[in-house]
Amino acid sequence: MGYELAIGDRTYSSWSLRGWLMFEAFGLPFKEYRARMSTPEFSTMLGAFAPARLVPAARIDGQVVWETMAIAETLAERHPDKGFWPKDPNQRALARSLCAEMHSGFGALRSACTMNLRHAFTGFEPSAEVLRDVARLETLWSLCADAGWLFEHYSLVDAMFAPVATRIATYGLPVGPRAQAYVAQTLAMPAIRRWRAMGLAQNFIQPGYELDLPVAAWPGPARLDAKPVVDVQAINTTCPYSGDAVLADSLLEIDGQVIGFCNTFCRDKTMHDPEAWSATMALLAGR
């Protein structure tokens, strides 16, 4: 089986995040293609995934599959052992209903609170329409088991709702304790932390996604102290991700120890959240 996935900006593209989680969170290897939205490169990338017009777009054993729920159902068919859907038929029907409403609804929330993983805003005042969407989210989540993820284990439902969970965090939207706990669990998920760290490492600000409001620290798990360094000896000679040789301009001091990488992007994505990367943390633990 061969999987390819086209995505947009990690910091801002909510649909790209959903599609990416459908592979990454379920342990499916894939080749990633990425381009910044609203650029000629983005159009060129999608041209290779025709007839798709938006991200995410996937190629599954040569067949282009577009629209997020089509990708989800195709992967669930091909990997029944991965737990994409709940096992119980009634719970599975509920899960599909939630995903379908997420796919087609919440227009006010989407419009007023675009996904932005750079930081949290303070002082955002949601409209009545946004508050109705938030209340609807809480109603839907209350239909599910109060046991961490929305069903008995991480499923496609959680992948579909991940971007709105980040919106609650970014804009400080008012929700009750159960929803706050779900948001916190989503932000703490290693795959989400890696996605955000890679977006920060790319250091791109998409016009139109920033608000003229004060910003606050990201409400996810606190970042382990890390900073780029030069002219020091790393504890490793090969990159923990690629296996390629460590480069002198790609060194990172983490909690007092120096790890080397094969390029500055590997260094920077690690710097933004070292604990999101198990291979790097294994090096530190094995020191």
Evaluate if residue 63 carries a pLDDT over 90.
yes
pLDDT in tens, 194-213: 999 999 999 999 888 999 99
Q: Are residues 89 and 76 in the same domain?
A: no
Give Cα 211 to chain centroid, integer Å: 21
Helix (H, G, I), strand (E, B) or coil at 147: strand
Encode 272-283: b = buried (16+ Cβ within 10 Å), e = exposed: bbbbbbeebbeb
Q: Assess if residue 200 is contained within a domain.
A: no
CA atoms within 13 A on the CB side of 161: 31
Evaluate if residue 128 carries a pLDDT over 90.
yes
Mean pLDDT of 62-66: 97
Split into its structural domains, the chain has a count of 3
Evaluate if residue 34 carries a pLDDT over 90.
yes
pLDDT computed for residue 207 by the predictor: 84
Mean pLDDT of 257-266: 97
Mean pLDDT of 214-226: 95
Evaluate if residue 286 carries a pLDDT over 80.
no
Domain boundary among 34, 54, 81: 81
Instruction: Give me the CATH number covering residue 40.
Output: 3.40.30.10
Q: Are residues 61 and 156 in the same domain?
A: no
pTM of structure: 0.96
pLDDT in tens, 154-187: 999 999 999 999 999 999 999 999 999 999 999 9
Percent of the chain with pLDDT over 90: 93
Residues of the domain holding 129: 83-193
Instruction: Give me the CATH number covering residue 120.
Output: 1.20.1050.10
pLDDT computed for residue 148 by the predictor: 86
Q: Which amino acid is at 73?
A: E
pLDDT computed for residue 1 by the predictor: 60
CA torsion, ordered 24, 25, 26, 32, to nearest 10 deg:
-10
Please give the biggest Cα pair distance in the chain.
Answer: 60
Q: Are residues 68 and 105 in the same domain?
A: no
